[in-house]
Amino acid sequence: MTKGNTRDPPSFPAEVMNAVLGGDALRRCFQCGACGGSCPSAADMNHSPSRLFAMIRAGLRNEVLRSNTPWYCVACYYCAVRCPQEIPITDLMYGLKRLSIQQGLCEEVDAADFSRTFIGSVERYGRSFELGLATRYHLTHRPLGLPKLAPTGLGMLLKGRMALRPHRIKDIKGLRAILSRARVLERVR
């Protein structure tokens, strides 16, 4: 292993590929750029998807896992249907989000917290709950953003489009047991 090199040992690409079902397809990427060219969020990403894949191969763990690219992915699958090498790009973006959180490198704190708040609501009720979600998220993360949220939220309430109370599924215990067992199995995966 080289010392004093800013690059990581070559285990990083393997780590990324292992984080995703079918992720080893990433080996086949030949840098045609079709993914970046199709991506509706590319302009706002600090690295295009194809460049991010080249960086993964180069072992640039920090730069990759700190990147906003996966967090600006809206999961539209344009890249995936256009990739000539049939690489599951959208799934890789999800995988990179997970790795960046697990390794404490995620810089898109708001986006990650939004996802966490969402799954918290699912664990609590078995359903997602827009009003609670929007309020809790905005109160904890963007207290100043709340007035901006209000007009839309208010209009929706008046039109009966937002519930004031969440609905809890009947077998919430069963669901929680399933999720915690899955979490245990994930650790040994």
Binding residues for other proteins (CB under 8 A): 19-21, 40-41, 44, 71-72, 74-78, 80-81, 90-91, 94-95, 97-98, 101, 108, 110-112, 114-116, 118-119, 122, 126-131, 134, 137, 151-152, 155-156, 159-163, 167, 169-171, 173-175, 177-183, 185-186, 189
3-state SS record for the chain: CCCCCCCCCCHHHHHHHHCCCCHHHHHHCCCCCHHHHHCCCHHHCCCCHHHHHHHHHCCCHHHHHHCCHHHHCCCCCHHHHHCCCCCCHHHHHHHHHHHHHHCCCCCCHHHHHHHHHHHHHHHHHCCCCHHHHHHHHHHHHCHHHHHHHHHHHHHHHHCCCCCCCCCCCCCHHHHHHHHHHHHHHHHHC
Which of other proteins, ligand SF4, none does residue 129 bind (CB under 5 to 8 Å by kind)? Answer: other proteins
Binding ligand SF4 (rule: CB under 6 A), the pick from 39, 52, 56, 65 is 39
Site string for ligand SF4, 53-82 (x = CB under 6 A): x-------------------xxxxxxx---
Which of other proteins, ligand SF4, none does residue 178 bind (CB under 5 to 8 Å by kind)? Answer: other proteins
Which of ligand SF4, other proteins, none does residue 87 bind (CB under 5 to 8 Å by kind)? Answer: ligand SF4
Q: How far is the CB of 103 from ligand SF4 (least distance, A)?
A: 21
Q: Please say which residue, 73 or 134, places its beta carbon nearer to ligand SF4.
A: 73
Residue 148: Cβ within 10 Å count: 11
